[in-house]
């Protein structure tokens, strides 16, 4: 019997396949299970960040719809009767995703059920409610200048939007820019897409340059929007070795040449690299770009930084070398041309 009584809504995408592997439904190679588990690990971290936020009433959307395992006619988690504390208790009862890859899954599920019968159903919902295509990038496909091992391919646009994007790209061309947003916002972004938050309850920063999705070709500006303070940012220099030594704590348990596979802390910062249409609708105010048309922005990559990891502030997507590197990597991931 499948552990998923109802097929997840993303079942035809790689994430769903990875989810099945992670949850022990498919008996595939261990490295594939680990890769999928890292994606699930990130989804759970995003869910937790949104739930812990003082803004959770606004940003923890969608709220889970989870059937009570003891009463199939009742929703244990109901968007019409929100109970954030109960969701947090279930989330706290989740066995770590790392542990799920190291033991028979049915045994892990039994342990979760003993702790909290809603823990496993909540995990299923976190995975199946995701509407984005998100895959951990292998080392050979990562953007080295981003200085983090936690790099993901992220395609969050539904087919209709992606189709509109390609049509506009054929007319106007495209380029790349960063979008910074607090980790707590990504639970909603992965399920609802990038939206214009200006003059809505979702707005966190001012919209001095008008309504639209705010991007920047400069990593330093978008890092600021992600909540990464100046001490967590760096400019590549002779001090790089000293800065990078801070991450050694994450690597000590890893074999030589390997990367830390799972997120080690809950204090996470993130930044997305997006492809944007270079149409007259793209308003450039120096290094701050505003895109009023949501169909003209599509996420491509997602980068996560932990405690001790620092982002390079000197990255400019308009630099020819950086642009070529992005095209080299994205050419191996998606057919965006």
pLDDT tens-digit profile of 295-307? 999 999 999 998 7
pLDDT of residue 228: 63
pLDDT band (50, 70, 90) for residue 89? very high
At 312, the pLDDT band (50, 70, 90 cuts) reads confident
Res 22 pLDDT > 70: no
The reply to whether 92 and 147 lie within a common domain is no
Whose CA is closest to 26, among 14, 15, 17?
Answer: 17
Q: How many CB atoms lie within 10 A of CB 134?
A: 21
Q: How far apart are CA 247 and CA 191, in angstroms?
A: 31
153, part of any domain = yes
* Domain total in the chain: 2
Residue 337 in any domain: the answer is no
Residue 294, domain CATH? 3.90.228
**CB distance 212 to 289 below 8 Å:** no
Structural domain for 47, as ranges? 14-129
Residue 26 lies in a domain: yes
State whether 77 and 153 are in the same domain.
no
Residue 160 is encoded by which pair of tokens?
A: 């209709």
Each residue's pLDDT tens digit, 222-266: 988 887 654 444 444 334 433 333 333 333 333 334 556 677 777
Q: Is 257 contained in some domain?
A: no
Domain finish residue from 68, 94, 129: 129
Q: DSSP letter string over 94-163? A: SPPHHHHTSS-HHHHHHHHHHH-TTHHHHHHHHHHT--SEEEEPPGGGS-GGG--SEEEEEE---HHHHH
Per the rule left: phi > 0, alpha: psi between -120 and 50, beta: everything else, 235 is beta
pLDDT at 191 over 80: yes
This prediction's pTM: 0.78
- Tell me if 74 is assigned to some domain: yes
Mean pLDDT, residues 272-282 taken together = 95
- Single out the residue in 99, 129, 159 at which a domain terminates: 129
Average pLDDT over residues 121-146: 88
Please state the rounded mean pLDDT for residues 111-115.
87
* Burial (CB count <10 Å: 0-12, 13-18, 19+), residue 265: exposed
Last residue of a domain, one of 102, 129, 156: 129
Check: CB of residue 116 under 8 Å from CB of residue 90. Answer: yes
Position 29 scores a pLDDT of: 30
What is the reported pLDDT for 315?
A: 93
Claim to verify: residue 202 and residue 80 sit in the same structural domain: no
pLDDT score of 24: 37
Beta-bridge mates of residue 155: 133
**Do 324 and 281 fall into the same domain?**
yes
Identify whether residues 120 and 138 lie together within a single domain: no
Per the domain annotation, does 248 fall within a domain? no
């Amino acid at each position: 019997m499948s552990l998923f009584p109802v097929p997840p809504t993303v079942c035809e995408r790689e994430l769903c396949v990875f989810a099945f592997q992670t949850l022990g439904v498919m008996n595939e190679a261990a490295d594939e299970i680990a890769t999928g588990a890292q994606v699930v690990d990130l989804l759970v971290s995003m869910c937790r960040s949104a739930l812990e936020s003082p803004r959770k009433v606004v940003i923890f959307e969608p709220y889970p719809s989870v059937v009570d395992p003891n009463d199939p006619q009742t929703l244990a988690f109901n968007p019409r009767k929100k109970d954030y504390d109960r969701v947090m208790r279930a989330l706290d009862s989740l066995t770590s995703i790392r542990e799920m890859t190291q033991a028979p899954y049915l045994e892990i599920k039994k342990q979760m059920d003993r702790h909290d019968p809603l823990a496993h159903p909540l995990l299923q919902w976190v995975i199946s409610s995701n509407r984005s295509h998100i895959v951990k990038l292998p080392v050979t496909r990562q953007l080295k200048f981003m200085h983090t091992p936690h790099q993901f391919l992220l395609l969050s646009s539904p087919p209709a939007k992606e189709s509109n994007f390609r049509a506009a790209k054929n007319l106007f061309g495209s380029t790349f820019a960063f979008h910074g947003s607090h980790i707590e916002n990504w639970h909603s972004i992965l399920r609802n897409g990038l939206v214009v938050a200006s003059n809505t309850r979702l707005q966190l920063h001012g919209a001095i340059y008008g309504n639209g999705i705010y991007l920047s070709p400069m990593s330093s500006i978008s890092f600021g929007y992600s909540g990464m303070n100046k001490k967590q940012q760096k400019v590549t220099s002779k001090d790089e070795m000293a800065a990078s030594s801070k991450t050694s704590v994450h690597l000590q348990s890893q074999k030589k040449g390997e990367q830390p596979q799972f997120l080690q802390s809950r204090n996470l910062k993130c930044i997305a690299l997006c492809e944007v249409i270079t149409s007259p609708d793209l308003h450039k105010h120096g290094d701050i770009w505003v895109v009023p048309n949501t169909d003209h922005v599509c996420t491509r990559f997602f980068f996560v930084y932990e405690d001790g990891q620092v982002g390079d502030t000197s990255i400019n997507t308009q630099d020819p070398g950086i642009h070529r590197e992005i095209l080299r990597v994205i050419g191996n991931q998606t057919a965006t041309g």
